[in-house]
Structure 1
Amino acid sequence: MLKGIDPRLNADVLYVLRAMGHGDYLIVADTNFPSDSIAQQTVHGDLLRMENITTGEAAEAILSVFPLDTFVDDFAARMEIVGAPDEVPPVQQEVQAAVDAAEGQPRKMISVERFAFYDLAKNAYAVIQTGERRFYGCFMFRKGVIPPEE
């Protein structure tokens, strides 16, 4: 354990979050997402895991150290439900709440059609698979910057 670091963040995840640069995409996915095959196509190339927690819990932990991009509208995205793109199920509401808490204000994620989300994920820096079993627990976070101290 490390002081000040959320214990849900393992060493592999912390390494990748630190290595990513401004504008890089991170995918946080549920257990049904084709995480391993897509992860092989990413910059990192290996699947990361945060097992036994939901995507909401993973988002809380990740966003405790990961700045979201403030310069773009697509700073975070959720996978749309097939046939109901405007529906936001509880799993997505939980991640939206984690985003809002990290940002200190409401900041709505964009939605991405399912197959477009798969294509987006292939261009990500890395994929983290969670233990989330609810459907549509798949998200993209775009890394922002940390400004210099005054």
Structure 2
Amino acid sequence: MLKNISPILPPDLLKILMEMGHGDEICIGDGNFPAAAYSQRLVRCDGHGVPAVLDAVMQLLPLDSFVDRPAFLMQVVPGDPTKPTIWEEYRTIIEKHEPDFTDFESVERFAFYEQAKQCYCIVATGESALYANIILKKGVIKPS
């Protein structure tokens, strides 16, 4: 345990967040996401939902300020009546940590899978909400 670091972040995820450089991406997947099939590096956080993991990660990870939309959501498949209310929770979490955040990039399902394959890491969660996957693009910490 460390002070000021969420205890839900396993040590290997902390190491990965430190290793990531500017422009690297991390995917936090829901319980249905094929994380093991697509990941270069897989971290399991099965006992937690995406909002808790997202909040813990956002305490440490700066978003890329050199792109218009550094956070990506998987689009609902056409014809699927699902309305992902969890996305507003994501917006609240990200805006708490990144006040200049503007909006999410919406990515078609199979394009999202392809983007996830390129991510530095995929975090598998136990989230039961549908379309609850998110990709974050890491930015830089500016000198104070």
TM-score tier (shorter): over 0.9
Equivalent residues in 2 for 1:90-105, closer than 5 Å: 90-105=85-100
Q: CA 1:38 to 1:95, structure 2 compared with 1: closer, same or farther past 3 Å?
A: same
Deviates more, 1:91-100 or 1:74-83: 91-100
Q: CA 1:94 to 1:84, structure 2 compared with 1: closer, same or farther past 3 Å?
A: farther
1:28 matched to 2:28? The reply is: yes
1:133 matched to 2:128? The reply is: yes
* Percent of aligned positions that are identical: 37
CA distance in structure 1 between the aligned counterparts of 2:78 and 2:102, rounded to whole angstroms: 24
Unpaired segments ≥5 residues, structure 1: 40-44
TM-score by length of 1: 0.89
Figure out how many residues of one structure are paired with residues of the other and give that number: 143
State whether residues 55 and 91 of structure 1, in contact with CA within 8 Å, keep that contact through their aligned partners in structure 2: no
Q: CA 1:82 to 1:140, structure 2 compared with 1: closer, same or farther past 3 Å?
A: same
Equivalent residues in 2 for 1:1-150, closer than 5 Å: 1-39=1-39, 45-83=40-78, 89-149=84-144
Q: CA RMSD in A?
A: 1.6
1:35 is matched by which residue type in structure 2?
A
- Residue by residue, what CA displacement relative to the aligned partner does 1:90-125 show, whole Å, maximum 9, x if unpaired? 222211211111112452111101000001011111
Deviates more, 1:123-132 or 1:50-59: 50-59
1:69 is matched by which residue type in structure 2?
D
State whether residues 30 and 138 of structure 1, in contact with CA within 8 Å, keep that contact through their aligned partners in structure 2: yes
